[in-house]
Structure 1
Amino acid sequence: MFTTNDAESAIQIVFSGGLADGELRERATAYLNSLKASQEGWKFCVERFSPTAFPEVKFWCLQTLHEVVRAYYLQMDAQSQSTIKGALLTWLQRDCTVESAGALPPFLRNKLAQVLVSIVQLEYPAVWPTFFRDLISAAHQGPGLADMLCRVMVAVDEDIISLDIPRREEAKLSMHVKDSMRDRCIGDVAEAWYQLALAHRAARPQLAAFVLATAARYIHWIDIGLVANDRFMPLLLELMESPHSALRAAATDCVIEVVSKRMEPAAKVQLVASLKIVPACASWSRTLAAAVAAAASADGGGGAGGGGGGEGAAAAAMLEDEELISKVAKLLATMAGEVMDALKRVENSVISMQAVGFEVDDEAGSEATAVVDAASRLLEQLTPAVLQAFACGLEAVAMPLVPFINAYVARLKMLARRCWQRTPEARPTHA
């Protein structure tokens, strides 16, 4: 017979690491394994999670419930399934609010989210169709539950959507959940991301950053219009200027994901132009160059030209945030690279059609010309910004920009060859 005291003592022994005697740890592990394998194992977890004061015991309970759900949840009777789900939802509502005296620490919140998601994988949408909408509704009740919405969505991405090497059955479940989310709830989830980032950006910027970091995981497969619209994008551009570094970085990641989303060349060029962020990237490159120059001047002792004092301190502050600098450089590189790719794809498609004898009709030719012209105008604005940023000499900035610069140089060489081939009269003659 398993007793509460024995089980909790065994859990603490197992989690004590090298502090406990090896033989004692082996006996404790064997005891807990037998508890897990018994019919009483999951019931112990449900009953002891709330009363225990030990985080190790709470974690073991959640870990055991996760294993139970994955192993034989579908073979359990409806009452047992309901008991487990009810307990998880109670803990979420009661123990995950920041106002609660017994609020769970982050590692337990993550584990709770993982257990919930393991059930969602099996029950959404057939058995539990309201899960995501219920969670969204709860998220608006306070910052703690907004935080849990993010943790659950991260777990959905990691444990269902983006499995590295899924088994065949897991792959089928993953696709089913993903398709169901796309059809049923992802629009509501995206709206919640917008509302929560907007609501918490000033008072709780770290939470707003978590919301946007979560959103960035999903942008590559959801409808682009859920983020690239006249509400969400202005908010992201605003938050890229936030005084809070994590929020700036998360907003930048979201914009990178928007720009990187796969689409046809005409749509991609139109998207980049509609974001109205190209001038901001050019401004950022100028600011970075000025900061590098001011920092160098300050290091050299200032002087008449020099940027000491407050200016040097501001420059140093900007340069200290290397993660953000690298993210903005990645955004600049992504925008330039995506526009370049769209331009090449349109040009190559026209050339390929002509090479095999197909005529390009007037309408298609006009469309291709419009895309090429728009892409060329964007590159005319982006390329100087890329080169100015690259010239700053910062590795975190230069590395993301190298692929575009290589592609740009290759394009210039290709255009020179085409010009050479088309205008033989311009070639030099040799005596």
Structure 2
Amino acid sequence: MSMHVGISNYSEFRIPMDEMALQGLASLAMAPDAESQNKAVQFVEQLKQSTDGWKICAQAFTSGLYHQNDHVKFFCLQVCEYVLKTRYVQASSEDKTSMKGFIMACLDMEANASSQSKPFLRNKLAQVVSLAFVVDYPQHWPNFFNDTLVTLTHGPLAVDMYLRVLMAIDGEVVDRDIAHTAEESQRNTLIKDAMREQSVNQLSDMWFQVMTTYESSQPDIVSMCLEIVGRYVSWMDIGFFANDRMVTLLLRFLTLQSLRESACDCVHEIISKGMEPVGKTSLIESFVSVLDNAGIFKVDDGDVDFLCKLAKLINGMGLGLISSWQKLSKMGTTKNSETTRSALESKVPYMLRFLGDEDDDVSAAVLEFATEYIAMIKTMPSMSTVQKKHIEGLLVTIIKKLKYDTDYNFDREGEDEADFQEYRKQARVIFNNIAGLDSQMILVHVHELVSQTLPQWKSLDFRDVEVAVTLLYSLGEAIPASHGQHFSGNLEKASALQSMMRTLITSQVSRHGHVAVLLQFFETVVRYDRFFACEPQHIPEVLMAFLDERGLRNGSPKVRSRVAYLFLRFVKSTNLSVFFRSHLTPYLEEVLKQMQDLLTINSPDNGLTHSLSDGDQLFIYETASTLVVSSALEPEKKEVLMKQLLTPIASKFDAMLNRLRQETDEKRQQAYAECIHNAMSLASRASKGFSGQLTMKQCGCVSAFTELLSIFLAALEVSNQRGSLQSGVRQYLHRMVVCLGPEILPFLPEAMERLLKQPDARELYDFLPLVNQIIMKFRGDIVPFLSQVFMPLVMTIYRVLGAPSDHNDRVSAEEKKLLQRGYFLFLATIVSNCLDVLKAQEMQNLNQVLMSIISGAVELPDPQSQKSCFSILKKLIEVWGKEGLDGFPEFMYKEIVPACFLAPMKPTFDLSDGQTTLALGECASCMQEIFKQRGQELLVFLRTDFFPSRGISPDDAEYYIANMQTNTKAFRSWLKNFFVRAKS
């Protein structure tokens, strides 16, 4: 029996409605102010929670009273949607009948409206219908499709609405991009089974009828219908789609400008349907035959969007055939697999046609097919003649597509340029994959291209020149070499690369004016730096290219900046061997002379004296230093050259520091401070030219850097722009600790004294890593000095931490928190590296420090600091727990053991937090370490003194003691549960 319920029947379900409230909703929804909007939202929420609220909304929606108020109609649908999602499953049969009546009334309204509702309203209504459908079909509304299909006779508005409903049903039941619960998945399977049994014939006929009826008058409706066909094909029988009437219709649509894109997408979905491999091959072949005979793939009318769709279709066909071939090969069905492979090979020319299309979007659509085709061939014992031809065609096409687009804007790279670079990256992956398949083919093609292009670069388009250099560069990753040795091992490859590199240098292509060519030239020279071991005669030419208008003096900031970095890489890499040092040393002084003006420090007084940024200049200083340090010169000569390099820094520094002292204008002060900081940064960077094998002392350069250190320390006496100056000095000191030996020790007292003059929390926190670095490097050598400055430093930290600050000042609070962490890390460094510093302190001072560690472990609501504190205590127990320090065993029992129980019991000790769990682990280790050092003495103390005084029962005490004697991991796990129970 049909359950069709129209508007006339729906009147029986009417209930009294609050007209005033709905009218109020209408006015509130239209109001511009937030308060009225909020009231409207609150009223909607009340309707959602009300038992009959949805019925009020249903009546309001279908009454026609609000047909001109989209806001009210949308709110009404939202209420219905909420009910359908939350409680409709448990609705009474009466309410379900009311909902069906409402749905049919809505469909009739939309079908017979004088004008089409807004798309957002139609989509929301479609969603409401689909939500009712998934609950009621097939059990409670088995004739859903019979009842609703009737509305289509009303014309295009009805059809549009119905198609939106089918789209929404797909979203609820089929869409694989939407996550479903196990219960929902089971429900969806039942729905699809019922539809297959009862409704697919109706739907298939309806789609065909709609498309043939409206193909001329309503292309938008036909496009929507094609999309639905594409969606439903994945789970319906292929016979409803791959038949004469449907294929004929699709073929006709593929020739119509207004429908061909949608038709192409539909065909793609049909051939992408999951099928057995033999059936899939047959399906694809039949479609290709029909489309090819109709000349669809030969379309070339400049419609890029349609070409993208066709490329996507070919991509889908290729991937489908590759997948089918793989399945058949595993099954061992040789005949069928050969048929499928033959079908696949016949699609490669189509792929190459679209891959080589001028438009990158069209080309990108088949990149996956190309990638998977190469991967498939790699699994085969050998390539056939046809496959070799296809791979070679693929290589030629990719090389063509790697060229820059004619409209690429090198001056202002925007979104289009970023898209091209992303496409080019994907194309290079194809190039690399081909190399993995046939490296000889790659070598031959690139060698030929480089040999033909670079010698005549002056007469060619820059794009041809750039792609030749880029491909030479790309060989380095496409055909990787062991340990970077591209010029040894495989002689054929080495010979070809050497020939191409020789052409790159001797062709003078580095004098090409285009930035893309220049940048690729320098990148390639650096990648193949070992070429110069084979032919060192080319070194002078390359060095000059780096230094002149081609490189560091180029008119393009982009080129200058990149070359500054690449020059450093070139110098560092070419100086890895004695061979290179011997070949580079003869040019050293000339190179440094050429670099001289680039080493000048910019200042507020002289303006820009060169075109390098401060960041670029850091690379230049490191490069110059590396050249000096790595040369084959005697230490005395190195010292002279290094002092020449650093002298401009010293002279500029003194001048700028004096200006800063005298300057009153804050902006000028900041400019001078930045200049001073930059000078110190350059000196720090110059120190990176030294290595473990070539130290400052071995190179005779100690005095050059210690003299600078004496000069830099004067900056700590200047109060203007103090933060920037201190940062620069600290940075330099860090480098000197790395590069110098005991030569730095005489400077430490003065440096520390000045750095600790009235510091704030942030300055102290930044200073402590330097102290830790000094401790870890010099260990015993630093003990006498550190013993003297230890308590003054500690007291300074206490004073800064104890200084009053505004409770609302979050920055200050965070800085103090960081300083506390830094303090405990400082103590941990001392305990691990030079514990004698603590032993040298007066007992009163030592006790104060130890109590600060206990306080940090127990009181600080900061798990990182607590972890550090327990870690320090464990180390102290290891060293002093038995007999290392008078009074320490008593301290363990009086302070450390209680701390191990008090800290985890604090409300701020969150046992569900990962960092806190780590702190608890260190706490557990402390107790186990005490037991290791004191043995039964600890157990007696716990049983007879500590546990009884804390009200811990004998049973819990014994559990604790027993678990404490297990392995560390087990005890940590047990202890967490112990404190969780204790705090509950």
TM-score scaled by structure 1? 0.77
Confirm whether residue 31 of structure 1 aligns to residue 46 of structure 2: no
Larger radius of gyration: 2
Displacement of 1:216 = 0.9
| 3-state SS, counterpart of residue 318 of structure 2 | helix
The 10-residue stretch of structure 1 (40-49 or 199-208) with the greater mean CA deviation from structure 2: 40-49
Confirm whether residue 386 of structure 1 aligns to residue 351 of structure 2: yes
**In structure 2, do the counterparts of structure 1 residues 137 and 34 end up closer, same or farther at CA, with 3 Å as the change threshold?**
closer
Take 2:226 and 2:288, find their aligned partners in 1: how far apart are those partners? Answer: 20
Q: Is the 8 A contact 2:110 2:116 kept in 1?
A: yes
Displacement of 1:40 = 4.0
Take 2:169 and 2:148, find their aligned partners in 1: how far apart are those partners? Answer: 13
Q: CA RMSD in A?
A: 2.7
Take 2:271 and 2:357, find their aligned partners in 1: how far apart are those partners? Answer: 24
**In structure 2, do the counterparts of structure 1 residues 323 and 12 end up closer, same or farther at CA, with 3 Å as the change threshold?**
farther
Instruction: Specify which of 317, 327, 348 is matched with residue 335 of structure 1.
Output: 317
Displacement of 1:209 = 0.9
Q: Which residues of 2 match residues 351-430 of structure 1 at below 5 A?
A: 368-369=334-335, 371-415=336-380, 417=382
Displacement of 1:92 = 0.8
Displacement of 1:135 = 2.3
Letter in 1 for 2:260: R
Take 1:172 and 1:251, find their aligned partners in 2: how far apart are those partners? Answer: 32
Report what 1:120 is aligned to: 133
Q: Is the 8 A contact 2:110 2:161 kept in 1?
A: no
Take 2:183 and 2:337, find their aligned partners in 1: how far apart are those partners? Answer: 45
Displacement of 1:324 = 2.3
Report what 2:450 is aligned to: none
Q: Is the 8 A contact 2:84 2:132 kept in 1?
A: yes
Q: Is the 8 A contact 1:281 1:385 kept in 2?
A: no
Letter in 1 for 2:277: P
Please give the per-residue CA displacement for 1:211-245, whole angstroms capped at 9, x wherever unaligned.
1111111111111111011111121122111121x
Give me the identity figure in percent. 28
Confirm whether residue 346 of structure 1 aligns to residue 328 of structure 2: yes
**In structure 2, do the counterparts of structure 1 residues 333 and 7 end up closer, same or farther at CA, with 3 Å as the change threshold?**
same
Please give the per-residue CA displacement for 1:282-318, whole angstroms capped at 9, x wherever unaligned.
9455443xxxxxxxxxxxxxxxxxxxxxxxxxx4xx3
The 10-residue stretch of structure 1 (411-420 or 171-180) with the greater mean CA deviation from structure 2: 411-420
Confirm whether residue 69 of structure 1 aligns to residue 51 of structure 2: no
| 3-state SS, counterpart of residue 392 of structure 1 | coil
Q: Which has the higher contact order (CA 8 A, sep 6+)?
A: 1
Displacement of 1:67 = 1.2
Q: Is the 8 A contact 2:25 2:72 kept in 1?
A: no
Instruction: Specify which of 83, 99, 116 is matched with residue 84 of structure 1.
Output: 99
Confirm whether residue 137 of structure 1 aligns to residue 150 of structure 2: yes
Report what 2:630 is aligned to: none
Confirm whether residue 158 of structure 1 aligns to residue 171 of structure 2: yes
**In structure 2, do the counterparts of structure 1 residues 248 and 227 end up closer, same or farther at CA, with 3 Å as the change threshold?**
same
**In structure 2, do the counterparts of structure 1 residues 64 and 228 end up closer, same or farther at CA, with 3 Å as the change threshold?**
same
Take 1:203 and 1:28, find their aligned partners in 2: how far apart are those partners? Answer: 41
Letter in 2 for 1:152: V
Q: Is the 8 A contact 1:12 1:57 kept in 2?
A: no
Which segments of 5 or more consecutive residues in structure 2 lack a partner in the other structure? 1-15, 386-984
Confirm whether residue 179 of structure 1 aligns to residue 144 of structure 2: no
Please give the per-residue CA displacement for 1:35-88, whole angstroms capped at 9, x wherever unaligned.
332234123212211211311111111111111222222444333332232122
**In structure 2, do the counterparts of structure 1 residues 176 and 416 end up closer, same or farther at CA, with 3 Å as the change threshold?**
closer
Confirm whether residue 41 of structure 1 aligns to residue 6 of structure 2: no
Instruction: Specify which of 24, 29, 34 is matched with residue 9 of structure 1.
Output: 24
Displacement of 1:133 = 2.5
**In structure 2, do the counterparts of structure 1 residues 131 and 76 end up closer, same or farther at CA, with 3 Å as the change threshold?**
same
| 3-state SS, counterpart of residue 142 of structure 2 | coil
| 3-state SS, counterpart of residue 198 of structure 1 | helix
Instruction: Specify which of 249, 267, 274 is matched with residue 262 of structure 1.
Output: 274
Displacement of 1:162 = 2.3
Report what 1:227 is aligned to: 241
Please give the per-residue CA displacement for 1:315-343, whole angstroms capped at 9, x wherever unaligned.
4xx33xx3322111010111122223323
Take 2:268 and 2:384, find their aligned partners in 1: how far apart are those partners? Answer: 35
Displacement of 1:260 = 1.0
Take 1:6 and 1:205, find their aligned partners in 2: how far apart are those partners? Answer: 42
Displacement of 1:176 = 1.9
| 3-state SS, counterpart of residue 234 of structure 1 | helix
Report what 2:707 is aligned to: none
Q: Is the 8 A contact 1:2 1:35 kept in 2?
A: no
**In structure 2, do the counterparts of structure 1 residues 12 and 249 end up closer, same or farther at CA, with 3 Å as the change threshold?**
farther
Report what 2:505 is aligned to: none
Letter in 1 for 2:222: A
Letter in 1 for 2:328: V
Report what 2:182 is aligned to: 168
**In structure 2, do the counterparts of structure 1 residues 251 and 3 end up closer, same or farther at CA, with 3 Å as the change threshold?**
same
Take 1:74 and 1:335, find their aligned partners in 2: how far apart are those partners? Answer: 43
Please give the per-residue CA displacement for 1:101-153, whole angstroms capped at 9, x wherever unaligned.
25433222222221122111111111111111332333244212211221111
**In structure 2, do the counterparts of structure 1 residues 71 and 324 end up closer, same or farther at CA, with 3 Å as the change threshold?**
same
Take 1:40 and 1:409, find their aligned partners in 2: how far apart are those partners? Answer: 63
Displacement of 1:387 = 1.0
Q: Is the 8 A contact 2:25 2:43 kept in 1?
A: yes
Displacement of 1:155 = 0.7
**In structure 2, do the counterparts of structure 1 residues 127 and 340 end up closer, same or farther at CA, with 3 Å as the change threshold?**
same
Letter in 2 for 1:330: K
Instruction: Specify which of 149, 153, 158 is matched with residue 162 of structure 2.
Output: 149
Please give the per-residue CA displacement for 1:163-213, whole angstroms capped at 9, x wherever unaligned.
612233323322221221122212321221122111111121111111111
Q: Which residues of 2 match residues 282-321 of structure 1 at below 5 A?
A: 283-288=295-300, 315=301, 318-319=302-303
Take 2:167 and 2:349, find their aligned partners in 1: how far apart are those partners? Answer: 38
Take 1:417 and 1:198, find their aligned partners in 2: how far apart are those partners? Answer: 50
Report what 2:214 is aligned to: 200
Take 2:346 and 2:205, find their aligned partners in 1: how far apart are those partners? Answer: 33
Q: Is the 8 A contact 2:297 2:310 kept in 1?
A: no
Count of aligned pairs: 366
Report what 2:120 is aligned to: 107
Take 1:106 and 1:418, find their aligned partners in 2: how far apart are those partners? Answer: 55
Q: Is the 8 A contact 1:14 1:25 kept in 2?
A: yes
| 3-state SS, counterpart of residue 222 of structure 1 | coil
| 3-state SS, counterpart of residue 84 of structure 1 | helix
**In structure 2, do the counterparts of structure 1 residues 348 and 96 end up closer, same or farther at CA, with 3 Å as the change threshold?**
same
Letter in 1 for 2:267: V
Take 1:94 and 1:28, find their aligned partners in 2: how far apart are those partners? Answer: 25
Q: Is the 8 A contact 1:285 1:389 kept in 2?
A: no
Please give the per-residue CA displacement for 1:337-361, whole angstroms capped at 9, x wherever unaligned.
22233233323432xxxxxxxxxxx
Letter in 2 for 1:120: F
Q: Is the 8 A contact 2:111 2:154 kept in 1?
A: no
Take 2:218 and 2:39, find their aligned partners in 1: how far apart are those partners? Answer: 46
Take 1:276 and 1:323, find their aligned partners in 2: how far apart are those partners? Answer: 20
